Amino acid sequence: MKFYLAEIKKEEDLKRLFIEKWNWNFPKISNLFFNFPEEIKDKIADFSLLAEKENFKILFFNLHNLTNPEKELKKLERKIITHPELKSNVDTSVFIFSGNNFEYLDFVKGEKIGTNVKTKRFFISPENRDKLRTPCEQLENLKLEPSKISYSYIKNRIKEAFSVEAVTERFYEEYIEIFQKIKKILIKQKVDIREKERESKLRDFIHQILNRIMFLYFVQKRGCFGGDKNFLANFWDDYKSKFKGQNKFHSDWLNVLFFDALSRPSWLFEEKKYLGRFNEILKNAPYLNGGLFEKDELDEIGWKIPDELFDDIFDFFESYNFTIEENTPFEIDIAINPEMLGNIYEHLVNIEEREEQARAGIFYTPKVEIDLMIRRSLVEFLFNKTKISKEKLYQFVFPEEESQIKDPFTKEEAEKVLKELDEILILDPACGSGHYLVVAEQILYELKKVLWEKLKIAHSSKYEEKKKIIEKNIYGNDIKQWAVNIAKLRLWLDLFVDAEEELLSNQMEPLLPNLNFKVRWGDSLVQRIGKDLIPLRKIKNFVEGRRHDLKIIIQKKSYVYRTSDRDEYKKTVYLEKKLLLNALDEIKIRTTQKIQEIGAQLQKENLSLFPGQYKIEQVNSSKKELKKQKEILEKTLEEIKNLKEELRKEKEIPMIWDLAFAEVFQMKKGFDIVIANPPYVRQERIEDLQGFYSKKEYKEKLIEQTKLDWSYDYEGRSKFGTKSPIPEKFDKKCDLYVYFYLKGLKLLNPDGVLCYISSNSWLDVGFGRVLQEVLIKRCPIVAIYDNQVKRSFKHADVNTIIAVIKAPKEKDFDEEVKNNEVKFVMFKKPFEEIMYSEIFIDLEKNYNLKEFQEGKRRENEIYRLHIVNQKDLWKFGKDEKTGEYAGNKWGGKYLRAPEIYWKILEKGKGKLVRLGDIAEVRRGFTTGANEFFYVEDVTDKIEDE
């Protein structure tokens, strides 16, 4: 099969394949006519109907006059497939395109998504004709069994042939097999490491070396190694021909490539006699740096991969086709691309414990949802800052039918929007594979480019501008270090794709930035030094007095980003630690002063005990309160002492937001957009993945941290005396993502916007009361979006919603909160079909709204909309007896309930009784083995008939 695909040289070869081998029929009419425009006609040598079966057609186009086939083919193919005469039958057609007399060969499947067309493509080129395993195995699905022929059978065979998921699954299953083989050998090697760290360090070491090799499979596609696009295979083959069996490839060849060639300027490269012709190639290899190819503590441990395993490693990577271009929602190449690295975060779990993914709640968000979330957040943020009409902002930010961004602004409006995009600060506090960060950077570049052209502003190359965007606008954090490494990898690859040829050959400056201060590793939820908690923004307040120190740190961070200077990186980490120690000293000084002031006040109270001055009871009450304050402050002094001792023991500072991203909290008091797919972990499975606290302790710390965070304002001032919106009786049954909502909201600045995709359970279940109450009282809820057609997470038993929420106000029921109208939107079409400005503009309009018991509603073939006043949400969820908020079924009522539900309530008014009013409703048994009692829902796994 592989040989046959590689050797297809003419149309007759394709006919034989489909008709003789794959059991398709000769077409009744083979000659076709389409009225293509001249620009397309000039590129088509000939076209025909190759084969057909049950209304399905195989169409062949022979293209010529291509000067740059790799770039021209995809654009030309799309123009042909979306031509009106072909577009109408795209769902029942498979397209085959040859380029320059079969030098290139593409198999393409189109699918109508609303008025747009999504394409999936296998491509065969001169450089990958020896790597056809993926298209061969997949396209084999186009072979039909005569006894099973039916419309649905052929439809499903075509769907399977062009399944991206099937390729992804196979890639990562084989990755895990390779991982296990390496681990089995290396675990036996004697190395200098503590036994309790051996498993985790070995896991990280194997991931790191495979990530480095995988990264270079993308890099070599640019011809960076002496023009050789198969450099790695040839590098390994050359070693094998001379030294195989000596087990020196890892130490003498691969490490030289990583640490001597790619992480240092060319003039520092020292030639090795045994490398022969590869000395020149390595000397002129791109100076990548960025941290990926720096020798670190994992490399120093001493594990060595034997030659026999490299046979397996390179056989695995060589069996796949790699491409450096990321897919778009409507154009998908079925190959290993940078975006697929994100699937590591869904598929790769801790190999020793297959449950880690469930423990960490890791699920990978599809790109369409990410695109929607970032664009929707940008509209809301830009509206907050500029007050330009939302209609114009939607037209600008959301793609139109032809994927063209409209330019609806006046010159003054365009300047305002560009200023905000230049200064915007976007954070993903659970960044995982970095998918949100990459898409945010891509969208910012795309939007800014439109404004530069409108305003006739000169700008740098795409690579340079994206590099600036990552430095100025993008931030991330994750609790898993290997996930942080993948996030960096994704950002580097996105930059690398756009680097100009002269940059690739620049041997003096590093091509890739250092991302250590941009994508950080640590616990996003619990800020601690040792086991003591630090309230969010408390450090910010004490750092402000050391603006000079802070300015130096910010300058050094920028320098490290650009140069990857390892010594400067260490100095900056040291300065961060010093700044924190100084902040603690400042807190100590102020606390000591307060204790002295209270001491003086107590003396004054004692003197006032003379008759006739005050009543003795009043004085005693005042003294009691002062002594209580003094005890709290003395306890604070003791805590500071402990914190400083713990901090001196730490190699690096734990994740403290207002220090890790100090520039953000100093410049803007927080982030403009916080966007995430927070982990989905049920309350009984919540644990500290860093191992500092027991499960019980960690849950208590989450609650304590949340209460502490919400007791400080945007300036880092304690709001003691002001009632916190966090309920005193915090429900310990909250799933982990609830804490991410409450942390994310506090990470915003006053004009900021939070957008999360999360489980919808908080809308209806008991523990959701906590989050509902905080939102209703403090945070204008912009919209909650659901989709009844398509689940966002194929591999998770989780139904999701997308929530867009504005930053918290300083007091309960602020005017904006009271007057806010919350939009609950249930889409009836997949997100791909609603990603257009006119749909979101329509949702903003107030036409055809029907009154119902709790608000207003509208329904059409695209969506169901319920609008409820935010203050009324409090009223509808309030317990009449206690006057406290008891929770409400937002999802059941405002998203999923059809019109008949409200009609029944209307007609039954005064006759219906809530079950909770006449009976105690509580949770049933906690089984400890839910999966045993659940019948698995396999609906999503059944093919369409």
State residue 163 phi and psi, 5-degree precision.
Answer: -85, 115
**Residue 577 pLDDT > 80, yes or no?**
yes
- Both ends of the chain: CA-CA distance in Å? 29
More confident of the two residues 169 and 442: 442
Contact, 833 vs 114, CB < 8 A? yes
Residue-wise over 896-911: b if at least 16 C-beta within 10 A, else e? bbeeeebeeeeeeeee
Contact (CB, 8 A) for 583 and 577: no
For residues 386-394, average pLDDT: 95
CA distance 405 to 401: 10
- Write out 635-681 in H/E/C secondary structure: HHHHHHHHHHHHHHHCCCCCCCHHHHCHHHHHHCCCEEEEEECCCCC
Q: How far apart are CA 165 and CA 159, in angstroms?
A: 11
pLDDT exceeds cutoff 50 at 600: yes
What is the structure's pLDDT at 346? 56
DSSP 856-870: EEEE-SSEEEEEEEH
Distance CA 483, CA 431 (A): 8
Q: Sorting pLDDT into bands at 50, 70 and 90, what band is 676?
A: very high
pLDDT in the model for residue 353: 39
Q: Across 720-862, where does the E strand assignment appear? A: 748-759, 781-787, 800-806, 821-827, 850-852, 855-859
Report the pLDDT value the prediction gives residue 792, as an integer from 0 to 100.
Answer: 55
In 90-244, alpha helices (H): 133-139, 151-161, 164-186, 195-219, 231-243
Q: Which residue has the tokens 């991931």?
A: 207
**Element of type H or E holding 3:** helix 2-6
pLDDT band, residue 362 (cuts 50/70/90): very low
Contacts of 735 (CB under 8 A, 6+ apart): 680, 681, 682, 683, 686, 759, 761, 762, 767
Q: What's the pLDDT at 382?
A: 98
What pLDDT sits at residue 483?
82
Average pLDDT over residues 91-115: 91
pLDDT tens track for 536-557? 888 877 776 778 888 899 999 9
Q: Which two tokens stand for residue 46?
A: 């000939």
Greater pLDDT, 502 or 155: 155
Provide the whole-model pTM. 0.87
Rounded to an integer, what distance in angstroms lies between the CA atom of residue 657 and that of residue 664? Answer: 9
pLDDT at residue 340 is higher than 80:
no
Binned at pLDDT 50, 70 and 90, residue 945 comes out as: very low
- Lowest-confidence pick of 43-47, 167-171, 211-215, 449-453: 167-171
